[in-house]
Amino acid sequence: MRQAGRYMPQYRKLRERHSILDLCHSPELAAEVTLQPVERLGVDAAIVFADILLPFEPLRLGLGFQAGEGPHLDRPIRDAADVERLPSFDIDAELGYVLDAIRLARRALPVDVPLIGFAGAPFTLASYAIEGGASRTFTKTKRFMYQTPDAWHLLLSKLADVVGTFLAAQARAGAHALQLFDSWVGCLSPDDYRTYVQPHSRKALSLAGKSQVPLIHFGTGTATFLEDFAAAGGDVISIDWRMPLDAAWSRIGNRAIQGNLEPAALLAPEPERSRQVSDILARAGRRPGHIFNLGHGVLPETDVAAVRAVVDLVHGG
């Protein structure tokens, strides 16, 4: 998930002098931010500092980040012609700075801390590409999907090629595991997931899977179609906090699971915070193949000491 970010004073300090895109574009700075949570929190793995929206730069959608408002696209996708016009590009030439950040971070990390590379899933990327930014209802995305299904499938298929290839390149650069983020897929019905999204996620994961490193398939709001979500692929299935870990695990069969602390539980006072952590550990029951994690990213309001306390509790428990 997002390990670095505004909740960390060290990160905020760097952000006073550099925009988020500057941090991403500089392999040295990105590697430095990648290491911050490992040092401060004592987590077992690092995730490279980058963003799922970076491929929108070579796709010429006009990516920018506005203070407090999140990502913004100057040229969102409006119709089939926009999809047709999407340029193909060379990953090494256009996103090589992420691969360089991976190489640098790998060299700087302790040998027992693996590095996770990542990319956005076709649906979540398409939602930003069509909405032009964040959305609560995904109205433009769903209208596009229903009204122009051919253009929709072409868009997701192109995005699947981009992210699948990008993930494989990250593994070649040294990432020990890869995570595909389908952050907003839970806004869909189970039927629509199967029809409009699943084949494309499957393609992205299968392209990434050629690199032979473990794949983590991340989603939120997937409780109503978890089996279909898992069937798209991934060695590890990530779940949010809206379902109990043991119930979810029994639905995905013989696979590893990631999750599932409610991010807002880090705002809860003791003993409630520790109670929720212990409940997840009890539901995992020391079965191998559980990656303890939040169900989604760390909220900016979170106290770093609370995150550290959870890491220590998980390690001690």
- For the annotated catalytic residues, the residue numbers are 2, 6, 15, 51, 128
CB-neighbour burial class of residue 144 (10 A; exposed 0-12, middle 13-18, buried 19+): buried
- Reference 219, options 230, 208, 204; nearest CA is 230
287 three-class SS: coil
Q: Where are the alpha helices (DSSP H) in the chain?
A: 9-17, 20-25, 27-41, 80-85, 91-108, 122-131, 139-147, 149-173, 190-192, 198-209, 226-231, 245-252, 272-284, 304-316
Query: Which residues are at the interface with ligand CP3 (CB under 6 A)?
Result: 2-6, 15, 20, 33, 47, 49-53, 65, 70-71, 118, 134, 181, 183, 296-297
Q: How far is the CB of 235 from ligand CP3 (least distance, A)?
A: 18
Residue 8: Cβ within 10 Å count: 22
Q: Nearer Cβ to ligand CP3, position 148 or 297?
A: 297
Q: How far is the CB of 33 from ligand CP3 (least distance, A)?
A: 6
Q: Which helix (H) or strand (E) element contains residue 219?
A: strand 215-219
Q: How far is the CB of 182 from ligand CP3 (least distance, A)?
A: 9
Cis peptide leading into 293, omega within 30 of 0? no
Q: How far is the CB of 288 from ligand CP3 (least distance, A)?
A: 25
Q: Nearer Cβ to ligand CP3, position 22 or 272?
A: 22
Q: Nearer Cβ to ligand CP3, position 120 or 233?
A: 120
How many Cα atoms occupy the beta-carbon half-sphere of 152 within 13 Å?
20
Q: Nearer Cβ to ligand CP3, position 110 or 269?
A: 110
Q: How far is the CB of 295 from ligand CP3 (least distance, A)?
A: 10
64 three-class SS: strand
159: alpha, beta or left? (left if phi > 0; alpha if psi -120 to 50): alpha
Beta bridge partners of 233: none
With contact defined as beta carbons under 8 Å apart, do 274 and 265 qualify?
A: no
